[in-house]
């Protein structure tokens, strides 16, 4: 049985996976920013689903589900509907291409993200390795 | 009516993409008098509205489209308008001027300009039909090339409208992304990426109103004479219509000023395969021009059975000699691709040349080689989409030199890549590069190359002492002409037709060269003359009279030059506030230390000699900061200079 996508359990599993990943660590040695990853309301998602992820110098310091968006002020917010996140997870949509084509909406310095493609791809690979149960 | 002057509509559109609302931006007549229009009026707005230190690619940046009082008035070559913002490539003032029909339609729609703030959540475009302004979804346009997107925007009522768009390069925030209007291009300073950062794909405008002038009959009479003088002038009436800007390849080769192999020398052995004459013989179908322009500098060429826009000089050199490529067919193809992708050809060609030298020297292995053309088309796409090495190339020469090395031969100033004129061959032109507010720019820099190499009569190329005064005069003059809405080609009549006859005699050319070079103190004197002595119009520069007749403003030759000086200084103040200083008025060591001509110790750019004099003539201190009395003279004393020090 999989881990429900976007749950606290899922966030913790992502944190563990990131911290085990040598690929992520090497690609992100200088990264110092945190994120909200947001699945926007629509279809089976009845309200925006937020996961907070704090990434620092190649490791994940914290990750959890967020019910109140005001609880953190991350440097980046990346949001998209469920079907787009599924495409990223299935490797049908490269995350950087998703950002450039605005399928993944970014609040924050978009150029900083698209200049760090390896880091983004490794992070996505970590998420792909999770046994995710999609809504 | 919000202005007492004709030629203006009196209204600026204010668009907030974050809140998806529109309104009006108020500009005072005092600012119209001080700055006229175009980029200098925009600079004043950016000075007023922007906080220093903002990220140019953040929603806090403001993107301005601005016409000028002569735009759309039927004075010759006055389709010009500017786009401005804080530049993502220099961090200072950014702007780009273009022809095409957008500015004319905007004025006819009743707007002098557009101030665009914030950023949309999803891709949008702005649609303007006279007073009706809508912000529309652009999902169907995003990712499309500039030609396709412009066609798609012209639907229903907008079939004959004017359009302005970015391509994939702007969407992907390439630092030197441009903005395309029909087939005309706002090339420099990365304005395309500013639009991309706002999720603004483009604008479409349709106008039906009349543009009124102050004294219609006298204005009509004046413009008739002006058109005649342009048509009768050897440059604007013959050479430019016949060959376009591509005529410069041969002229600059002769002057040892054709940038070759990443600006390492000034001549290219295979130059004759990429000259304007070759283009005309093998490819040219016809020339074309902007609305109201008798010069018609544009080229339409044939390639693979298709009629497409032909390359300008800059592309022919920077993708030709600068990369050691002599295949004109390929250059024409790349020119087309640059436009479709929305890439600034000047920056792009210079970036590629620099990358090739990094590869050749083993500093950065990137598979780009001088003379190798097979992968260029693919590389352009990689840059526009930020894929592979394109992601690094998209950041520009300054970034590449800081990341990989090669700062000694990195051809940029303040981050903006050099255009296609070898600096050491025309040291005044080089001083212009170093001091131009938007970075290395031949036009903002005063276009001294015309007086040092390509014009009918010239100063001595390597004479340093004479150049600062000439550079200041030229910078102010071109700034003034631009702020009125005229194409800079119209400034060429400043050199009278008789000079073209004089160039046929070696003795007369020699004498004129000496006079122009050694009478530079009189230029300094002219620049210092109080305005009261310059209250006239001069026939060689019909611009000031045209502005007076069009607007009803009190205008003269002296006032117009003063407006140029003021606008230039306003840009300088903006840059100072952003932290751009004397240390940034510099060129790479290749140009300041390496001799262009073996044995000629003056054939390097001695900026250390010229800069102090330049600053002094401008009324700036030894650090390049305008003095209080200069600000007072220029009516810019609303700026607290102590805050900028």
Inform me whether the pLDDT recorded for B241 exceeds 80. yes
Residue A52 included in any domain? yes
Residue pLDDT, tens place only, B172-205:
999 999 999 998 999 999 999 999 999 999 999 9
Q: Is B391–A114 a contact, with Cβ atoms under 8 angstroms apart?
A: yes
Q: What number is the ipTM of this complex?
A: 0.82
Distance CA(B45)–CA(B13), nearest Å, equals: 13
Beta-carbon contacts of residue B521 (< 8 Å; ≥ 6 apart): B469
Beta strand ranges found along B99-251 (DSSP E): 113-117, 124-129, 132-137, 162-165, 179-181, 184-186, 200-206
For residue A92, what pLDDT band results from cuts at 50, 70 and 90? very high
B118-127 mean pLDDT:
95
Instruction: Give the mean pLDDT of A55-80.
Output: 95
> What's residue B1's pLDDT?
60
Residue B207, C-beta contacts closer than 8 angstroms, at least 6 positions apart: B104, B105, B106, B107, B108, B109, B110, B128, B130
Q: What is the model's pLDDT at position B499?
A: 87
How far is the C-alpha of B483 from the C-alpha of B409, rounded, in Å?
34
Pairing of strands A34-39, A76-80: parallel
Distance CA B44, CA B46 (A): 5
B386 chain-A contacts, CB cut-off 8 A: 96, 100, 114
Write out pLDDT tens, residues B473-525. Answer: 999 999 999 999 999 999 988 888 888 888 888 899 899 999 999 989 999 99
d(CA A88, CA A126): 12
Query: Computed over its alpha carbons, how large is the radius of gyration of chain B?
Result: 23
Phi, psi of B383 (to 5 degrees): -65, -50
Tokens (6 digits) for B200: 């603004």
Q: Does a structural domain hold residue A134?
A: no
Tokens at residue B533, please? Answer: 């002595």
Residue contacts between A and B (CB atoms, under 8 Å): 31
Residues of chain A contacting residue B144, judged by C-beta atoms under 8 Å apart: none
Residues 6+ positions from B234 with CB-CB distance below 8 Å? B456, B497, B500
Residues of B in contact with A111 (CB under 8 A): 57, 173, 197
Q: Does B329 have pLDDT greater than 90? A: yes
Contact B128, B106 (CB under 8 A): yes
Interface residue B119 vs chain A (CB under 8 A): no
Domains and CATH numbers, chain B: 12-206 (3.60.9.10), 241-421 (1.10.569.10), 426-645 (1.10.599.10)
In angstroms, how far is CA B297 from the centroid of its own chain? 16
Q: How confident is the model at residue B28 (pLDDT cuts 50, 70, 90)?
A: very high
Q: Considering only CB atoms, which chain A residues are within 8 Å of B199?
A: 102
Distances (CA, A) of B277 to B285, B286, B629: 13, 13, 50
Reported as half-sphere exposure (CB side, CA atoms, 13 A), residue B71 has a value of 34
pLDDT of the residue at A79: 95
Mean pLDDT, chain B, rounded, equals: 95
Percent of chain B at pLDDT > 90 equals: 87
Q: Where are the alpha helices (DSSP H) in B247-388?
A: 248-254, 276-282, 313-318, 328-341, 345-360, 376-385
Question: CA-to-CA distance for B177 and A42, rounded, in angstroms?
Answer: 35
**pLDDT confidence bin for B642, thresholds 50/70/90:** confident
Cα–Cα distance measured from residue B151 to residue B1, given in angstroms and rounded to the nearest whole number: 35
Q: How confident is the model at residue B148 (pLDDT cuts 50, 70, 90)?
A: very high
Rounded to an integer, what distance in angstroms lies between the CA atom of residue A124 and that of residue A113? 13
The answer to whether B142 faces chain A, any CB pair under 8 Å, is yes
Of residues B600, B432, B442, B428, the one with CA closest to residue B516: B428
Give me B73's structure tokens: 């008035």
Q: What is the mean pLDDT of residues B22-49?
A: 97
The answer to whether B57 contacts A109, with C-beta atoms less than 8 Å apart, is yes
Interface test with A, best of B172, B383, B387, B399 (most A CBs within 10 A): B172
CA-nearest residue of chain A to B123? A102
Averaged pLDDT, B140-144: 96
The number of folded domains in chain A is 1
Cross-chain residue pair A100–B391, CB shorter than 8 Å: no
Residue whose pair of structure tokens reads 């999770």 in the numeric block: A130
For residue A105, give the CATH number of its domain: 3.30.1050.10
Of A105, A110, A117, the CB nearest to B173: A110
DSSP at B409:
G
Q: How far apart are CA B229 and CA A114, in angstroms?
A: 52
pLDDT at B287: 86
Model pLDDT for residues B202-234, shown as the tens digit of each residue:
999 999 999 999 999 999 999 999 999 999 998
pLDDT value at residue B231: 92
The mean per-residue pLDDT over the stretch B532-544 comes to 91
Find the mean pLDDT for residues B248-270.
Answer: 97
Measured distance CA(B471)–CA(B614) in Å, rounded: 8
| Residues of the domain holding A120 | 3-129
Q: Are B128 and B205 in contact (CB under 8 A)?
A: yes
Select the residue of A105, A114, A117 nearest B173 (Cβ to Cβ).
Answer: A114
Q: What distance in Å separates residue A51's CA from the closest CA in chain B?
A: 20
SS (H, E, C) B78-136: CCCEEEEEECCCCCCEEEEEECCCHHHHHHHCCCCEEEEECCCCCCEEEEEECCEEEEE
**CB–CB of B78/B65 below 8 Å?**
no
- Dist CA B619 CA A126 (whole Å): 60
Percent of chain B with pLDDT over 70: 100
Whether residues A102 and B123 touch (CB distance < 8 A) is answered with yes
């Amino acid at each position: 049985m999989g881990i429900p996508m976007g749950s606290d359990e899922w966030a913790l599993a992502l944190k563990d996976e990131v911290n085990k990943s040598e690929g992520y660590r090497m690609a992100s040695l200088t990264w110092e920013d945190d994120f909200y990853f947001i699945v926007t309301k629509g279809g089976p998602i009845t309200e925006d689903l937020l996961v907070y992820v704090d990434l620092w110098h190649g490791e994940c310091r914290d990750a959890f589900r967020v019910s109140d968006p005001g609880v953190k002020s991350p440097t980046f917010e990346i949001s998209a509907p469920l079907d787009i996140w599924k495409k990223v997870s299935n490797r049908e949509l490269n995350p950087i291409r998703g950002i450039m084509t605005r399928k993944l909406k970014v609040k924050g310095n978009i150029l900083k993200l698209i200049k760090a493609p390896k880091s983004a791809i490794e992070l996505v690979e970590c998420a792909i390795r999770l046994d995710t149960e999609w809504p | 009516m919000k202005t007492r002057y004709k030629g203006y509509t009196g209204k600026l559109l204010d668009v907030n993409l974050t809140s998806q609302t529109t309104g009006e931006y108020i500009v005072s007549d005092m600012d119209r008098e001080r700055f006229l229009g175009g980029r200098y009026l925009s600079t004043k707005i950016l000075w007023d509205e922007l906080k220093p230190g903002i990220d140019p690619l953040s929603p806090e940046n403001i993107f301005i489209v601005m016409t000028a009082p002569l735009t759309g008035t039927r004075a010759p070559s006055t389709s010009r308008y500017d786009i401005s913002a804080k530049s993502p490539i220099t961090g200072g003032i950014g702007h780009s001027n273009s022809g095409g029909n957008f500015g004319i339609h905007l004025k006819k729609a009743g707007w002098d300009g557009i101030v665009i703030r914030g950023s949309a959540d999803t891709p949008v475009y702005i649609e303007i039909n006279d007073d009706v302004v809508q912000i529309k979804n652009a999902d169907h346009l995003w990712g499309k090339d500039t030609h396709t997107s412009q066609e798609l925007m012209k639907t229903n009522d907008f079939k004959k409208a004017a359009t302005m768009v970015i391509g994939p390069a702007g969407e992907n925030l390439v630092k030197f992304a441009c903005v395309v209007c029909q087939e005309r291009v706002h090339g420099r300073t990365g304005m395309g990426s500013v639009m991309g950062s706002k999720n603004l794909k483009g604008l479409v405008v349709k106008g039906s109103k009349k543009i009124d002038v102050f004294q219609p009959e006298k204005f009509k009479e004046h413009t008739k004479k002006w058109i005649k003088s342009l048509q009768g002038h050897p440059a604007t009436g013959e050479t430019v219509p016949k060959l376009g800007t591509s005529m410069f390849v041969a002229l600059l080769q002769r002057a040892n000023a054709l940038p070759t192999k990443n600006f390492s020398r000034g001549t290219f052995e295979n130059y004759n395969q990429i000259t304007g004459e070759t283009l005309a013989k093998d490819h040219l179908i016809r020339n074309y021009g902007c609305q109201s322009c008798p010069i018609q500098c544009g080229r339409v060429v044939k390639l693979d059975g298709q009629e497409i826009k032909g390359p300008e000089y800059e592309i022919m050199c920077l993708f030709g000699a600068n990369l050691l490529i002599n295949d004109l067919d390929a250059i024409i193809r790349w020119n087309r691709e640059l436009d479709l992708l929305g890439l600034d050809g000047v920056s792009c060609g210079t970036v590629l040349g620099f990358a090739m030298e990094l590869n050749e020297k083993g500093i950065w292995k990137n598979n780009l080689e001088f003379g190798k053309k097979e992968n260029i088309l693919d590389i352009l796409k990689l840059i526009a989409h930020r894929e592979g090495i394109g992601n690094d190339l998209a950041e520009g020469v300054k970034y590449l030199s800081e990341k990989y090395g090669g700062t000694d031969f990195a051809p940029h100033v303040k981050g903006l890549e050099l255009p296609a004129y070898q600096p050491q061959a025309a040291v005044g032109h080089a001083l212009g590069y170093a001091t131009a507010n938007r970075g290395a720019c031949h036009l903002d820099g005063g276009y001294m190359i015309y007086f040092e190499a390509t014009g009918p009569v010239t100063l001595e190329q390597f004479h340093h002492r004479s150049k600062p005064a000439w550079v200041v005069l030229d910078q102010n003059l071109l700034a003034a002409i631009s702020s009125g809405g005229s194409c800079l080609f119209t400034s060429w009549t400043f050199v009278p037709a008789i000079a073209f006859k004089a160039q046929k005699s070696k003795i007369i050319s020699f004498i004129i060269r000496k006079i122009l070079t050694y009478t530079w103190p009189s230029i300094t004197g002219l620049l210092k003359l109080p305005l009261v002595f310059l209250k006239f119009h001069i026939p060689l520069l019909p611009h000031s009279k045209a502005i007076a007749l069009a607007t009803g403003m009190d205008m003269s030759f002296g006032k117009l030059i003063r407006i140029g000086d003021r606008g230039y200084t306003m840009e300088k103040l903006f840059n100072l506030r952003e932290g751009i200083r004397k240390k940034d008025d510099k060129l790479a060591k290749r140009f300041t230390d390496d001799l262009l001509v073996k044995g000629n110790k003056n054939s390097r750019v001695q900026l250390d000699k010229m800069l102090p004099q330049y600053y002094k003539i401008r009324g700036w201190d030894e650090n390049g900061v305008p003095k209080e009395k200069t600000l007072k003279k220029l009516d810019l004393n609303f700026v607290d200079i102590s805050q900028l020090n």
